[in-house]
Amino acid sequence: MVDKANARPPDVLGALLSSSNKADLLVLFHRNPGLIDTVEGIARRLGKKGSAISSDISELASASILQKKAVGKSEVYFLNREKDRESQKGIAEYINNLGAKKSS
């Protein structure tokens, strides 16, 4: 039996908190859930260079928070809403379990 109060946070939590760029990316995609764009287009929206965020985008894609699709000669990224919901749920459960642990 797993002790939920002592459960480790989902791996995605660590991935999401590992850089401010990832936080900026998540905010951008949450505010614009239909956004589909290239790395360069996403970077322009954030006022950054593509090279500054490409590894963060790749990591979010590896975590399945973002999905990548080839469109012509370009690759575009978009929010994987199902995986994002799962991640948010897991993070919320982890935080709730931390609160329950502290109050016991």
pLDDT (tens digit, 0 to 9) for every residue of the chain, 104 residues total?
444 444 555 565 666 667 889 989 999 999 998 999 999 999 999 999 999 999 999 999 988 899 999 999 999 999 999 988 888 887 788 788 876 666 65
Cβ neighbors of 100 (< 8 A, separation 6 or more) are 5
Answer for the pair 33, 50: CB distance below 8 angstroms, yes or no: no
- What pLDDT, on the 0 to 100 scale, is given for residue 103? 62
Architecture of domain 10-103: Orthogonal Bundle (1.10)
The edge-to-edge listing of strands for the beta sheet with 36-37 is 36-37, 74-79, 66-71
Supply the DSSP symbol for 8. P
pTM for the complete prediction? 0.76
